[in-house]
Structure 1
Amino acid sequence: MEKVAIIGSQRVPFVKSFTHYLRTSNQDMLTACLQQLVSKYHLAGERLGDVALGAIMNRSTDWNFARECVLGSGLDSHTPGYNVVRACSTSLDAAVQIGLRIKAGQIAVGIAGGSDTNSDLPILFSKQFSWKMIALRHAKTFGEKLKVLASFRIKDLSPVYPSIVEPRTGLSMGQHTERMVKEWGITREAQDELAYYSHMNAEKAYQAGFFNDLVFPYKGVTKDTIIRPDTTLEKLAKLRPAFDTTGAGTLTAGNSTLYSDGAAAVLLASESYARQRGLPVLAYLEDAESAAVDYVNGEGLLMAPTYAVARLLRRNHLTLQDFDLYEIHEAFCGQVLCTLKAWEDPAYCQRLGYDQPLGSIDRSKLNTTGGSVAIGHPFGATGARILGQTAKVLHERGGGRALISICTAGGMGLVAIVQL
């Protein structure tokens, strides 16, 4: 059975939404990422096994989004492509799917990636407007058309903006996380401290040149724009709560991810393909596990990775401490800290099927080159960003094992093991 080699990744700088990438589409950004991979690894005119790409903030016209990106990439036009969507773990899930096909021997090489932008939102009209427009189109007589036209109301023209709320609760992800941090007793100070180190680690990595071959200039931007090297714990402490304004809130714009625009893609191949083509192998995608929680009936919305990690560890005969690197997506610093605390809790770990707590991790190994709070979180791009970043860290270390954990909307989570 083939091993799944991570050859390399490319991404645009992640930027705060409504700034540098105005009028730039998901397809624009992700096509640019594919073009960079094609150029860097000499894939022009090559037919790859498959390309799996995704975005959360999709337009209805993006039904063939991945294939369109492929056609603009410089790859052989016989390369297929398909769309993947699993909320914030979309591009990691795309990589897992490509990896499974490589491991099964169905394909030898493929690309996984994702993109998201809030600066090119698919603004919609109301359902009533849509229904009336459909009725107008199908009206056969002049009288029928007049009747439909007479039914239109001014309020039908009100635009509908996409909202990041859970349909079954009507609460935003931030509001759900406020519930989680209260349940687990996570302090504002602890969240701010994690945010501070996220920024410091990202800036340190930039200063060391770590991102030079991962991030390429795009639209005049050369570096992720959300990183704040001048932030301090004092500055973070002055920010007001963003989701609970009653005075009891602890989530702020400083310890939560900001709306971000960006795209990322990862090249994956079988070990034999990489060897035949003389391609570098940064690390291997070893295994993955998905999970979901019943957040509607009280479980924490973003706690699904705790279940997924427990199952992944058991299947691979590993402990939580058997890792040299932990890449835990920082949707909110509070959510990361809830996850870590849950793994240390005996009663909670019994729910995960363990007699003893999974235990604590060495925090010096957590998000060592910066996390999502500092770098940004374009929903569909984060998984590919983390996977490519993790593989490079392991490669520079000369070996090791990493745990990737991504929570998502809908009470889901996806985790993976990367090893060299």
Structure 2
Amino acid sequence: MNTPNTVRKVAIVGYNRIPFARANTAYAEVGNQQMMTAALDGLIEKYNLEGKLLGEVVGGAVIKHTADSNLMRECVMQTALDPATPACDLQQACDTGIESAIYIANKIALGQIDCGIAGGVDSISDMPISVSENLRKILLNARKAKSFGEKIKWFLKLRLKDLTPLVPRNEESQTGLSMGGHTEITAKHYKISREDQDNLALKSHLNMAKAYDEGFFDDMITPFQGLDKDNNLRKDSSIEKLAKLNPAFDKKNGTLTAGNSTPLTDGASCVLLASEEWAKTHDLPILAYITFAEVAAIEYVKNQQNLLLAPLFAASRMLEKAGLNLQDFDYYEIHEAFAAQVLATLKIWESPELSAQIGLPKPLGAIDRNKLNVKGSSLAAAHPFAATGGRIIGVMAKLLNQKGSGRGFISICAAGGQGITMIVEK
């Protein structure tokens, strides 16, 4: 293992994803393994990795069946990679994809591996369904019964309501509120207007539509199941259409709608990371480098407006370690779980009073919003939880590679009051 004095630079050398699809549409008949394998297959083909032994493949899904317990290894075994390539699962809610990249990057930096793939996938369409607790107990006891008559006795205890399937609920176990419910509280607490939310959502769609038209995503996406682009994207979106949508969470007084919130989504993404030496040996481009990253968490049970604001603390600590200001970046990629959460983040950064109230050591200041999510982000592409990190890292690496130099700031919020920030440089 390298000593701390010989920590290696970590290069982003490749990226790939499948188009993201709204739940129960194009990918309704496939699951995590098929989607993740498709994203990996596209990466492997694009960068001539067939038969190669990589250091490790890591990633995961937020929502998994028990059959997906060894998800990434199962996916590797279905690809053209050398089957001796190890893999493991990692899960940190919506941070999964970017946390997986940090995992691989740290191993490369320390000399434990020379290259690796980080990825993430989620299928809402193929969501696991559980049985009721009473049915579970009856089935277990019937299984242990020593006679047919005893089994029948247990089954006679069944009631019709016991047969109702239990679908996982999209809510925080600590509060019973959904992400949207929490963010509605955030919008009210920080006085984020419906008009500002809709404007941010519109800009995301228009920026992504333009990027598609210009061919920016041509080398970033592998077509899958008949899709060649994200089917949540609305090229014809307008502020008038967004304004007509009803509130989605607080039906009477809410400002969050289906237009300024991300929908439930299916999809997969991955990035290829390597040491400079490995990239050069394999004739692969060094698109950019991962230089700093930070993970943080925040209390959100008493202060329910805080759920998706942990990146504020990650950013503050990361920038201090990097010796940089928030304004020292050419591009900003802030995951748009909800327009309100992005706007609240920006407002707190700009306000000494709000920064002090939430507990930041100092306000980080305003950013140039023309540099924010310039190719569209999650409100347009949508958000398969674990896959968003890989999508955003890929976009940032390509932007910096095209520019030829510069710095990129990435921020992703997550369930459980967690968040990650990252600096990518060229």
Q: How does 1:183-262 map to 2 (within 5 A)?
A: 183-246=189-252, 248-262=253-267
Q: Does 1:416 align with 2:422?
A: yes
**Percent of aligned pairs with the same amino acid:** 50
2:233 and 2:25 mapped to 1: Cα distance? 15
Contact 1:265-1:385 within 8 A present in 2 as well: yes
2:297 to 292, 298, 303: 292
The equivalent residue for 1:395 is 401
Question: What is the identity, as a one-letter code, of the residue corresponding to 1:188?
Answer: R
1:153 and 1:251 mapped to 2: Cα distance? 39
- How much does 1:355 deviate? 5.5
1:302 and 1:356 mapped to 2: Cα distance? 19
Q: Does 1:281 align with 2:273?
A: no
2:65 to 46, 56, 59: 59
Give the structure-2-normalised TM-score: 0.96
- The alignment partner of 1:159 has SS state of coil
2:357 and 2:425 mapped to 1: Cα distance? 28
- How much does 1:400 deviate? 0.9
Per-residue CA deviations over 1:310-354 (Å, capped at 9, x if unaligned) read 111111111111111110000000000001111112134336776
Distance 1:397 1:126, change over 3 A: same
Per-residue CA deviations over 1:55-88 (Å, capped at 9, x if unaligned) read 1121011111110000011101101111111111
Q: How does 1:268-347 map to 2 (within 5 A)?
A: 268-299=273-304, 300-347=306-353
- How much does 1:297 deviate? 1.1
- The alignment partner of 2:296 has SS state of strand
Give the structure-1-normalised TM-score: 0.97
Q: Does 1:368 align with 2:374?
A: yes
Contact 1:282-1:394 within 8 A present in 2 as well: yes
Distance 1:351 1:291, change over 3 A: farther
- The alignment partner of 1:391 has SS state of helix
The equivalent residue for 2:4 is none
More deviation in 215-224 or 92-101? Answer: 215-224
- How much does 1:117 deviate? 1.4
Per-residue CA deviations over 1:95-142 (Å, capped at 9, x if unaligned) read 110110110100001001111111112111112222222222222344
- The alignment partner of 1:205 has SS state of helix
- The alignment partner of 2:184 has SS state of helix
More deviation in 10-19 or 344-353? Answer: 344-353
Question: What is the identity, as a one-letter code, of the residue corresponding to 2:232?
Answer: I
2:345 and 2:138 mapped to 1: Cα distance? 47
More deviation in 136-145 or 294-303? Answer: 136-145
- The alignment partner of 2:277 has SS state of helix
The equivalent residue for 2:3 is none
- How much does 1:219 deviate? 1.0
1:215 and 1:36 mapped to 2: Cα distance? 8
Per-residue CA deviations over 1:235-258 (Å, capped at 9, x if unaligned) read 111111111111x21001111111
- Computed over aligned residues only, the root mean square deviation of the Cα atoms, in angstroms, reads 1.3
1:142 and 1:232 mapped to 2: Cα distance? 65
2:360 and 2:228 mapped to 1: Cα distance? 46
Per-residue CA deviations over 1:34-59 (Å, capped at 9, x if unaligned) read 11111111111111111002111210
Unaligned runs of 5+ in 1: none
1:60 and 1:353 mapped to 2: Cα distance? 40
